[in-house]
Amino acid sequence: MTRLLLLSCLALLPSFALADTPQQILAAYQQQAGGASAARGEKFFFAKVTQANGEVVGCASCHTDNPKAVGKTRAHKTIEPLAPVANRERFTDPAKVEKWFKRNCKDVLDRECTVQEKADFVAFLISVK
Amino acid sequence: MGLTLKNLGILLAALVASGFWLGTSWGDGSQPTFPPVSNKAAATECASCHMAYPAGLLPARSWMRMMNSLENHFGEDASLSPEETAAISRYLKDNAADSATANERSRRIASGIALNAAPLRFTETPYFGYLHDEVPATVWKRAKIGSRANCIACHTRAETGSFAEREIKIPKD
C-alpha cells in the first residue's frame, strides 16, 4: 500500500515540474523576440480595432479595462483576471497561453500575434501590481 | 362510508404518491434533467467560454458539424488540437440526443429536429421553443440574462444538468 502511494506520488511529480512561472513564460517570448516592453504591451492591451462588421473591439471588450478585474465572455461566462497579481494561475501553462493567443488574436485582429506582441503583452500584465 | 383511520391512511399515501409522480415527471427528482458532461476534456474546453452544455441537448450530426467548424464558433476561434477535437467529438457523439443511451427528454429534442437539419444552437430547436414560449422577448433582453445561451441566468442548477421547474429564478433586471 505504502509503495502504491509512493508510486502515485512519483507519477504526479512531472505535472508539478512542468508548471511554469509567468517570468519563465515571459523569458521564453522575450528570447524569441529579442526583448519586451511593458509600455508597448499596455498600448496593445487598450488598443481598439474596428472589425469588418463595424464592431469596435479590443482585449478590454471581454477582459475589462482593468487587468486585475474579472471579465466576461460573449456567452456571459466569467473570465478570471489576466494579471498574475490577481490570478496566480495566469501564465503558468505555456500551451494554454499559446492556445489563447492564437484564438483571441484571430478574434480581435483577424491574424496571429507576433512574438513581439506576445512578449510585450505578457510583460505588461506581469508589471501590473 | 365514514372517514376511518384506514381510509385516511390510503388517502394520504395516494397524495404522497401522486406528488412524487408529478415531481419526477417534471424533472424534480434526484436524477438531473440531462446527464452533465462527464468527459474531462469536453468539460474543461467547452466550459472555458460558456457553460458545458450537456451532450444530450443536440443530435450527433449537430455536434459533428460544430466540431468540424471550431475555428469559427459563432464568430469566435475555439479551435483545439486534433487530438482534443477527436476525443471531444467522440464523447459528444456517444452521448448525443439521438444516441442509444439518450434519455426520454433528449429523445424528444432529437425527434423534434428535421432529419436534414443540424442546428448548432439548442435554443433554435423546436423543443427549446416549446418549453420557453411563455418567456416574453423583453425578459431575454435583461442584462443579467443577455443571451439564450446563458442557461444558468435562470436555471440556477443548469451546470449540474438540472433544469427542474422549481429551480428557475428569473432575474428582475
B16 reaches A (C-beta below 8 A):
no
Quote the pLDDT of residue A127: 98
> Least CB-CB distance to B76: which of A76, A77, A107?
A107
Q: Decide if pLDDT at A75 tops 70.
A: yes
| A5-14, A77-86, B38-47, B66-75: segment of lowest average pLDDT | A5-14
Cell of A45: 492591451
Task: Give the chain A residue whose CA is nearest to the CA of B71.
Answer: A103
- CA geometry: angle B77, B82, B85, nearest 5 deg: 70
- Mean pLDDT across chain A: 90
Better-scored residue on pLDDT, B31 or B154: B154
Question: Best interface-test mutation with A: which of B45, B46, B50, B77 has the largest number of A CBs within 10 A?
Answer: B77
pLDDT more than 70, % of chain B: 85
Phi first, then psi, for residue B75 (nearest 5°) are: 90, 0
Contact residues, chain A, for B77 at CB < 8 Å: 102-104, 106-107
- Give phi and psi for B17, each to the nearest 5: -65, -40
Residues of B in contact with A111 (CB under 8 A): none
Give the pTM. 0.79
pLDDT value for B16: 59
Q: Is B121 helix (H, G, I), strand (E, B) or coil?
A: coil
Yes or no, beta carbons of A76 and B50 under 8 Å apart: yes
Cell numbers of B160, please? Answer: 449540474
State residue B38's pLDDT score: 94
Specify the pLDDT at position A18.
60
**Mean local confidence (pLDDT), B85-91:** 98
- Identify the band that residue B8 occupies on the pLDDT scale cut at 50, 70 and 90: low
The burial of A79, by beta-carbon neighbours within 10 Å (0-12 exposed, 13-18 middle, 19 or more buried), is given as middle
For residue B101, which of B162, B60, B149, B150 has the smallest C-alpha distance?
B60
Q: What is the pLDDT of residue A76?
A: 87
Task: Tell which residue, B106, B130, B99, has the closest CA to residue B53.
Answer: B106
Give the DSSP letter string of A70-85. Answer: -EE-TTS-EE--SSTT
Q: Is the model's pLDDT at A3 over the cut of 70?
A: no
The residue behind cell 448525443 is B96
How far is the C-alpha of B158 from the C-alpha of B155, rounded, in Å? 5
Amino acid, res. A81: P
- Partners of A103 on chain B (C-beta within 8 Å) are 76-79
Among candidates B50, B71, B77 on the partner chain, residue whose Cβ is nearest the Cβ of A73: B50
pLDDT in tens, A85-129: 999 999 999 999 999 999 999 999 999 999 999 999 999 999 999
| Helical axes B82-94 vs B60-67, angle rounded to 10° | 170
